[in-house]
Amino acid sequence: MTTTATTASPRGLAGLEPALNGHQPGWLGGIRRAGLEWVAEHGFPTLGDEDWKYTRVGPILDVPFQPAVGGMKHRLSASAIDGLAGDLGGTRLVFANGYFAPELSTLMALPEGTTVTSLASVLAGDAERLEPFLARPLSSQHHAFTALNAALAEDGAFIQIPPDATIAAPIHLVFVSDAGASPLVSSPRSVVHAGARSQATIVETHVGSGGVYLTNAVTEVILEDGAQVQHYKVQDEADTAFHLAALHVRPGRDSSFSTHALALGAAIARHEVWVKLEAAGAEVTLNGLYLPDGNQHHDNPTLIEHVAPRCTSRQLYKGVLGGHGRGVFNGHIVVGPDALGTDASQTNKNLLLSDTAEVDTRPRLEILTDDVRCTHGAAVGQLDEEAVFYLRSRGVPHQQARGVLTYAFAGEMLQLIGVGPLRSRVESKVAERLNREDTDRETFR
Amino acid sequence: MTDVSSEVREFASREYQYGFVTDLETDVAPRGLNEDVIRLISSKKNEPDWMLEWRLKAYRGWLTMEEPTWQKANYAPIDYQDIIYYAAPKPKVALTSLDEVDPEVLAMFDKLGISLAEQERLSGVAVDAIVDSVSVATTFKEKLADVGVIFCSFSEAVQCHPELVKRYLGTVVPRRDNFFAALNSAVFSDGSFCFIPKGVRCPMELSTYFRINAADTGQFERTLIIAEEGASVSYLEGCTAPMRDTNQLHAAVVELVALDDAQIKYSTVQNWYPGDAEGRGGIYNFVTKRGKCAGVNSKISWTQVETGSAITWKYPGVILQGDNSVGEFYSVALTANHQQADTGTKMIHIGKNTSSTIVSKAISAGHGQNTYRGLVKVLDSASGARNHTQCDSLLLGGDCGAHTFPYVEVKNPTAQVEHEASTSKIGEDQLFYCRQRGIPEEDAVSMIVNGFCREVFKELPMEFAVEAQKLLSVSLEGSVG
Amino acid sequence: MLQIENLRASIGGKEILRGVNLEVHAGEVHAVMGPNGSGKSTLAQVLAGRESYDVTGKVLYEGEDLLALSPEERAAAGVFLAFQYPVEIPGVGNLYFVRTALNSLRRQQGLDELDAIDFLSLAKERMRLVEMDESFMGRSVNEGFSGGEKKRNEIFQMAVLEPKLAILDETDSGLDIDALRVVAQGVNALRSEGRAMLVITHYQRLLDYIVPDVVHVFADGQIVRSGDKDLALELEQHGYADLEQRATLASAAAPVVGATS
């Protein structure tokens, strides 16, 4: 696929323009223009915006980003991807700077009728198939970054699973950024469409080899009636990078969706999950673990809208915050007037490890009918000194005892990862990170 | 199957008992707000220049501010030029004792169930009665003066204790704290002033009773309570207003200052007119209440029962500055009909080993919208800070709403903060159990709701607790058709 | 006192009671036994006026149509249900609750209300009956009570409210042997000429303590067999499996003639 390069603007993100090349249908051009117009009209979020109250995007806007383009050279190899993102044993689509890299990808046999490919290839060959997904995005609640994604996205994953199909091995989507000398923004857009009663596991891994870059990703998941999708998201970007992502989900009747967001990398990361429960009887689970240290900032906004009756939503987010790290949990549940029999719960727990770390948590409930059972809880605290003492009395040195218990706190989330190779991979990442934390914990008893 | 919500819908249509108007001769300022009106208010009150200056500065600040829009409330825009900013019952003679209070005023308070004369004789609660903008009577003054406690109207404090007012006014809620606080600072009319000197435990509960009587007036009281080192006081506030089909604005400011080892307990039963079943009329209750635990080991406790007003916005907070200081917030908020309440607290932990407790019980019925909004902020200086928050919401009927918006911001790794919240409808199993024992449905609802609120009611002084329970029960009367 | 004819109840379209016929006279104790899920507890709930069921059939209580009454009217008429799972009512004091209940009944019966002092002495006396500690009085209704304490509290309430028809729904479940003895002792003390009891239980062991006049076997939403206390022993030996087969036969046949004593 060829594209015309967009002009870099001294105004950074605000000045970007979409690549309106000849290969795309007219309706897509309209979407791109609308996205940019939205940004021009509304601008970028500020701290005054309730949903961005704790996340400053100024440092991102200050960078003179250029959009990544397809066909750019990268220095990556399949074995490098194994190292960066792991091999989970199933189909693996790799995207370099947001563009599909077939030479790095592995395709496995999938049930008949299943599509697992790049968005760009569908756009080039059978664009109409994408119109229902791109022309009517799930979320009408734009902010500048999702609007910008709509304007700039040219590639990403497109997964369509036929009714009743079961895909046992996880489908791994690896987004790898390989920024050169100049800052790049990649804008992948992925669509997962799970047919009625189908079952699949999708893993998104975002990694980078260093440098300043921005991943501005949008993933949409549509579940037809009775579908079951497990989604994992590992954000392990370079510490110099920015990561802004939105996961939008529309579950069908009696479907079941779970997502697990693990935030490890990036200087500023914001992973937004939005689920609209418009069909009765659906169940969703949102889990998250964020581990900011150094000067990292991890923001985790979630919005679950209960519109239809008898849906269940569960949320559990945990944060371990060290160094000058800052973590944000901004969970929002809205139960509409017709959502009778809603059962919703939301829990956020945080462990602060350093004097300079900060956590802001806002579990919000907005309830407009009476036939509900909703709970939420948030906690910020330290390790249980009793438990530390217990370990020490068994001969475990103090520092190590704290490490063990900190890991145990995070470990609850790791146990929830159902994909074995992914779990071991994340476990070792988390262990490594918490060990690193240990060394600068002198200020702490 | 009987529809529980039908009985609950009736709950929304409870009658407001305090909606009468008393025919008092009233001295009013012209409609609208400008510097001349502020000068008029100040001169009516014979204020010193510094007080006028303070008001004018606040007014100029207010002019540059915008009315907030973040609250979860819907209401038509307020025309600030269509409000009367000063209304006072005309005193027939200068007051030296209760005997000289306008008998109409005394009769009005009798009708409200607060006999000022009786209070003076029997109950051992000192009362400051405020009608519209002016304090009409303060009981027990001499007895309190014996132990050094100053309890008087704010106007009197400006005249008689200017040094205290100057020292503390605006130190907790600055003039430009927010739009409504700035407006209050410019036009505040009267309110209560309490000063408990060093080492004194106030020998009786102090109480202010607020009554809006005149039409189209705004009420802007200002209350300032200071407890010096080792002092303690319990203060009660009650409020009612006549039924009118236009909305009236109430924008009060309350400031509490607790020095070392001092304790202030502030209890409110707010029963302003809530508007009728269709949502016409009612008070806009936009209030700024804040306490400062300035000294070590000090404690400020807010307890509120909010059943009235068309719209309530209030977040009685505590600035926990002194080491080991304690802040508490206990709240029951009930919204029925078309009432909207957005209430909660702010606990700002600054000092070491400071602790705060928040218990909020929200009940929504009819088309009521009830929001808990609270901030717990632990600054990096607040080592060992503790907070526990419990917010429960009870929904009666399918047309109401209950919302919980906590904000927790923690910058100290030794802090322990816990927030828990639950929302559910009134338990059908509980209702059935009560009814099986012979308790009629309406009484059962009332009993369960009161039980739900007990944790908060037990924080109220005895007389207030009884009044609060009665208020909820009365609200439930006539609920089963 | 109680005549039940072809009582059917369903919830969410699912029929639980499939034509119950039963007659209970004053002074009698009837045991209703049956396997889990046979509809015994539904019978108790329907008689007490639970509103979540669609009910047809006829229930006469002292000659009046019981089904036409609200739960509180049934209570005022003397129907008492000791719940299988007594609910917790946070913040409402136990003693306050029982006094409110008693005075509501008295008011509905046209009697004067008892004042706090008279009530207290009555309550204390009745608490002794179930060996209930006075510390329970101030606690919230059933809140934090153990299973056994909740069941004792039910019998205590029955002792205070003095119903004419007491329905005990699995009052023995979850009780250890000492608690069972105490509860049974309380129940036995309340047996009288004018009072009928319907004792619903899964196990025979309760009937060692509360000896019934009539035993009914419940299966698949119906009474499939009735007899004297020996029927319970028979069940103990052979279990319910045998009976369920009969129920299948019975439901295929014409409505079973209700048990009479």
Residue B358 scores a pLDDT above 80: yes
Interface touch C80/B452, C-beta < 8 Å:
no
In angstroms, the CA B394 to CA B400 distance is 10
Residue C70 scores a pLDDT above 70: yes
Return the pLDDT at A1: 35
In angstroms, the CA A355 to CA A440 distance is 11
B390 has a chain A CB within 8 A of its CB? no
What residues of C are in contact with residue B332 (Cβ under 8 Å)? Answer: none
Interface of C with B in 32-91 (CB under 8 A): 48-52, 70-72, 74-76, 80-81, 83, 86-87, 89-91
In angstroms, the CA A350 to CA A358 distance is 10
In angstroms, the CA A56 to CA B429 distance is 48
**Minimum-distance CB partner of B423 among A359, A374, A444:** A374
What residues of A are in contact with residue B421 (Cβ under 8 Å)? Answer: 363, 365, 375-377
> Which of residues B210 and A361 earns the better pLDDT score?
A361
**Minimum-distance CB partner of C72 among B439, B447, B453:** B439
Return the pLDDT at C158: 92
Half-sphere exposure of B370 toward its Cβ, with a 13 Å CA cutoff? Answer: 31
Return the pLDDT at B71: 65
- Comparing C-alpha atoms, which of A94, A92, A189 is closest to residue A133? A189
Ranked by mean pLDDT, which of A126-140, A381-395, B286-300, B440-454 comes out on top? Answer: B286-300
Supply the mean pLDDT for chain B. Answer: 82
Interface touch A381/B412, C-beta < 8 Å:
no
Half-sphere exposure of B450 toward its Cβ, with a 13 Å CA cutoff? Answer: 23
- Comparing C-alpha atoms, which of B319, B361, B371, B322 is closest to residue B456? B361
Ranked by mean pLDDT, which of A403-412, B60-69, B350-359, C64-73 comes out on top? Answer: B350-359
B398 has a chain A CB within 8 A of its CB? yes
Interface touch A352/B415, C-beta < 8 Å:
yes
Interface touch C100/B433, C-beta < 8 Å:
no
Residue C257 scores a pLDDT above 90: no
- Name the pLDDT band for A7 (thresholds 50, 70, 90): very low
Residue A355 DSSP SS3: coil
Q: A390 vs chain B: nearest CA distance in angstroms?
A: 20
Supply angle C-alpha A199, A203, A204, rounded to 5: 140
In angstroms, the CA A407 to CA A304 distance is 29
B420 has a chain A CB within 8 A of its CB? yes
A373 has a chain B CB within 8 A of its CB? yes
In angstroms, the CA B273 to CA B339 distance is 10
Q: Residue B422: how many CB atoms within 10 A of its CB?
A: 17
- Comparing C-alpha atoms, which of A335, A327, A414 is closest to residue B411? A327
B34 has a chain A CB within 8 A of its CB? no
Return the pLDDT at A19: 59
Beta strands in A8-141 (DSSP E): 66-67, 92-96, 99-100, 115-118
Q: B43 vs chain A: nearest CA distance in angstroms?
A: 41
Report yes or no on whether pTM surpasses 0.90. no
In angstroms, the CA B331 to CA B373 distance is 12
| B13-20: average pLDDT | 56
Interface touch B423/A354, C-beta < 8 Å:
no
Amino acid at B326: V
Q: Residue A432: how many CB atoms within 10 A of its CB?
A: 11
Beta pairing class for C64-65 and A342-352 = unpaired
B453 has a chain C CB within 8 A of its CB? yes
**Minimum-distance CB partner of B1 among C52, C76, C98:** C52
Residue B374 scores a pLDDT above 70: yes
Q: What are phi and psi of B357, to 5 degrees?
A: -130, 135
Return the pLDDT at B13: 45
What residues of A are in contact with residue B406 (Cβ under 8 Å)? Answer: 361-364, 378
Q: Which residue of B has its CA nearest to C154?
A: B437
The neighbours of chain B, by the rule of 3 or more Cβ pairs under 8 Å, are: A, C
Q: Residue A88: how many CB atoms within 10 A of its CB?
A: 21
Residue of C45, C70, C72 for testing the chain B interface, max B β-carbons within 10 Å: C72
Q: What are phi and psi of B198, to 5 degrees?
A: -40, 130
Residue B160 scores a pLDDT above 80: yes
Q: Which residue of C has its CA nearest to B457?
A: C91
Interface touch B395/A378, C-beta < 8 Å:
no
What residues of A are in contact with residue B405 (Cβ under 8 Å)? Answer: 362, 364-366
Supply the mean pLDDT for chain C. Answer: 86
Amino acid at C260: T
Q: Residue A172: how many CB atoms within 10 A of its CB?
A: 29
Quick check: A154 and A185 in contact, CB under 8 A? no
Return the pLDDT at B103: 63
Interface of B with C in 374-433 (CB under 8 A): 427-430, 432-433
> Which uninterrupted H or E stretch holds C61?
strand C54-61
Any idea where the domains of chain A sit in the sequence?
Answer: 3-279, 383-445
Return the pLDDT at B258: 97
- Name the pLDDT band for A138 (thresholds 50, 70, 90): low
pLDDT tens-digit series, residues A197-253: 999 999 999 999 888 999 999 999 999 999 999 999 999 999 999 999 999 999 999
Residue B4 scores a pLDDT above 90: no
pLDDT tens-digit series, residues B73-132: 677 788 888 888 877 665 544 444 555 556 666 666 565 555 555 454 444 556 667 665
Among A220-224, C50-54, C175-179, whose mean pLDDT is lowest? C175-179
Taking each helix axis from N to C end, the angle separating B35-44 and B179-187, rounded to the nearest 10 degrees, works out to 50
Q: What are phi and psi of B333, to 5 degrees?
A: -125, 125
Quick check: A226 and A163 in contact, CB under 8 A? no
Residue A3 scores a pLDDT above 50: no
Among B67-71, B154-158, B409-413, C165-169, whose mean pLDDT is lowest? B67-71
pLDDT tens-digit series, residues C106-154: 988 888 988 888 898 999 999 988 888 888 777 889 888 888 889 989 9
Evaluate whether chains A and B are touching (3 or more beta carbon pairs less than 8 Å apart): yes
Q: Which residue of B has its CA nearest to A345?
A: B422
pLDDT tens-digit series, residues B163-175: 999 999 999 999 9
Amino acid at B96: T
